[in-house]
Chain A
Amino acid sequence: MTYLDHAATTPVLPEVVAAVSEALSKTGNASSLHTSGRAARRRVEESRETIAESLGARPSEVLFTSGGTESDNLAVAGIFRARRAADPRRRRILAAALEHHAVLDVVENLVTSEGARVTWLEVDDFGRVHADTLAAAIAEDPTDVALVSVMWANNEVGTVNPVRELADVAHAHGIPFHSDAVQALGQLPVDFGRCGADALTVTGHKIGGPTGVGVLLLRREIALVPLVHGGGQERGVRSGTLDVAGIVGLAVAVRDAVGHREERAAMLARLRDQLISAVTNRIPDVVISGDPGQSLVDGGPSRLPGNAHLRFPGCEADALLMLLDARGIECSTGSACNAGVPRPSHVLLAMGLDVRSARGALRFSFGHTSTSADVLAVAEAITPVVERARRAALAGTRRR
């Protein structure tokens, strides 16, 4: 099987499986006061320290959550509510138009139910938010902004944003800055202290860790209203019994992702470039979306090394996906509705593409288990698959 959907989820690292299994075999609520409770708490705190050290944060800045979506919701809604409570004028949220739905939808929910206003930050044709765009949006009225949220690297097209520059622009007006770094971790140099963000979203299952556990890195001085109320765990910001085994597994995965980032990023970029040239040689009219990846952003690559986002003119993405799946190659079409129907990607639309051009888009994403055999498999399959998908699309238009 050729698994090229690491941006959706990654195979779990064997050492994570071992660490989680071992932790699961031990009893203890990390909030209990007795011996096994203290032992559980120790495993949590050691994991927190490992994660903090790996990500350039202080242990007290590491808040455990259920994953990327919760971290994004907690940051956006939590900071918005705290800022508005402190100053009722601050109810405008600035966010990139191609954020993940975990940010988009919580923003829209705050607009409909809590009187928030939103300014969607425009992106360029690569999908990047520029500092002057953010500066102009803030300048409309710097006194009414609650927070800014811009993802570190886009999950669909892989374009990297200049997070430090953007954070500086927000900070010049004393505005908190959040970034979703779910895709960035393990592929880009993610350092919480250095990047300037006030809140950073991280999740386990994109880096060989368990699903259902993640982190919100949050500076101590940032006030935040919790989403979940209860036992007051995690500085009172995120109640709920701590998932000790998941947290232990997450720490192993984060340490691995950061420790092996440089050589792995180089390997991923090599495989990605091989894939792009193999496909381009066979399908000359294929189009690559997002940043070409040839420049630097804040000292790192301008595109996620493991991301190849390709558009096949004249094809329907779901036909391509099915035909590749039948040949044992797994990739992604981007977003689908809850019934499973592929929808035109809001990311591609935000980048200025029309619905028609957005239609034949596939994302191949590499990760820690990828090899050149995966590239070969795609190279062998792509010509007949694209030809067949084109015939199928024509069969559809002939009837109309």
Chain B
Amino acid sequence: MRVLAAMSGGVDSAVAAAMAVDAGHEVTGVHMALSRSPGTLRTGSRGCCTVEDAFDARRVCDLLEIPYYVWDFSNEFAEDVVADFLAEYAAGRTPNPCLRCNENIKFAALLDRAIALGFDAVATGHHVRLRDGVLHRSVDAAKDQSYVLAVLTADQLAHSMFPLGEMTKQQVRADAARRGFAVAAKPDSYDICFIPEGDTHGYLVDKLGARQGSVVDALTGEVLGEHDGFFAYTVGQRKGLHLGRPAPDGRPRYVLGIEPVSGTVIVGPASGLDVTVITADRVVFSGGESPAFPLRTVAQLRAHGGTVRASADLVDECVRLTLDAPIRGVAPGQTVVLYDPGDRFVIGAGTIIRAG
């Protein structure tokens, strides 16, 4: 097959490209330029966008003796990932930009262009297994990335290759070292790539302006204080509320909700965070067809951890989940991914619109 290896400049995509070469495919390495003004030093954000990352990807392609190109997706990235990220925060929701990037850039703009230019598939360094069109969790549970890929449609998955699914991160690094890749010991990326120094709050204030408002007690309706931007708050957050005085019962208070129009941040006791029913729209079934509902599932609510057993039903094209046990810190805008009851493979995914 003619395979396009999407190469961030990190160790995972380097080894993924190498595995595709080993498997006998005709591989071309492509680094996506996502930033309109790529940084030149590895300050803060890591893992993509910088000139050094493009350089690292190029050096791996040299060793693999495969062609290497840089494709510019900075406009698509600005519109479909960064603008979406800001709009979601402005609407009081908590988006996951990496997921949107997979959905709209890597497995959409990049994949479409690759197919149109004669490639058969796009290979990435995600830790996930694809078996008969179904996404299975990686053998390395700690590095599993099926959550951020669960929004992909069957058609997108049909043109995707994930060569690392059977490897642990440790094995990937050892393999990179064995192949002589300079990126073998390159640190993992955790930050959001377009936010310098990992300072999401500062970035949002810079882009959206300070959006002042009141901090209101959920139980009494009393105004407890003022804040300088509601997007600094996430449902479930305890630290940084700056309320000055403790609650009458001395228990910690948490952000329970955000009303973007008035800019009001609602706080209250931990019990107010407990969620047992979740509704999600924009539902995607990675197998292509809707399974028979109602069904039993393991639901994952965050990129790392946050799984809970639940019963799921499909109502008006939305998934309605009833959790076996309450879970805390669920915010609209987050993605919920449904796994089989054995928590091994993805059934589908949706975007949370209500939680209570």
Which positions in A face B, CB cutoff 8 Å? 318-319, 322-323, 325-326, 336-342, 388-389, 391-392, 394-396, 398-400
Contact = CB atoms under 8 A, between A and B. Distances in A.
B72 A341 contact: yes
A392 B116 contact: yes
B54 A399 contact: no
A392 B117 contact: yes
B244 interface: no
B54 A340 contact: yes
A342 B72 contact: yes
A318 B51 contact: no
Given A392-B113, A392-B116, 12 more contacts: A319-B117, A322-B28, A339-B33, A339-B38, A340-B58, A341-B72, A388-B117, A395-B112, A396-B109, A399-B108, A399-B109, A400-B76
Given A339-B33, A399-B108, A326 B72 contact: no
Interface residues of B, number: 23
A338 B54 CA distance: 10
Interface stretch (B63-71, B291-299, B305-313): B63-71
Contacts of B51: 338-339
Nearest to B72: A341
B56 to A, nearest CB: 12
A391 B69 contact: no
28 contacts: A318-B69, A318-B71, A318-B72, A319-B117, A322-B67, A322-B117, A323-B118, A326-B28, A338-B40, A339-B33, A339-B38, A339-B51, A340-B33, A340-B69, A340-B70, A341-B33, A341-B74, A388-B118, A389-B117, A392-B113, A394-B116, A395-B112, A395-B113, A395-B115, A396-B113, A399-B108, A399-B109, A400-B76
B129 interface: no
Nearest to A398: B112
A394 B113 CA distance: 9
Main secondary structure, interface of A, reads helix
Contacts of B108: 399
B31 interface: yes
A280 B38 CA distance: 38
Interface in B68-119: 69-72, 74, 76, 108-109, 112-113, 115-118
B182 to A, nearest CB: 18
Given A322-B69, A388-B117, A340 B112 contact: no
Contacts of A396: 109, 112-113, 116
Interface of B: 28, 31, 33, 38, 40, 51, 54, 58, 67, 69-72, 74, 76, 108-109, 112-113, 115-118
A325 B117 contact: no
A395 B108 CA distance: 10
B55 to A, nearest CB: 8
B278 to A, nearest CB: 30
A388 to B, nearest CB: 6
A322 B109 CA distance: 17
Nearest to A342: B72
A103 B109 CA distance: 37
Contact of B67 (A326, A336, A337, A338): A326
B67 A323 contact: no
B117 A339 contact: no
A156 B74 CA distance: 25
Interface centre among A323, A325, A340 (most CB of B within 10 A): A340
Given A341-B33, A395-B112, A396-B112, A323 B69 contact: no
The 8 A-B residue pairs whose C-beta atoms are closest, nearest first, are A392-B116, A340-B70, A395-B116, A395-B112, A339-B54, A341-B33, A341-B72, A392-B117
Interface centre among A318, A322, A341 (most CB of B within 10 A): A341
B70 A341 contact: yes
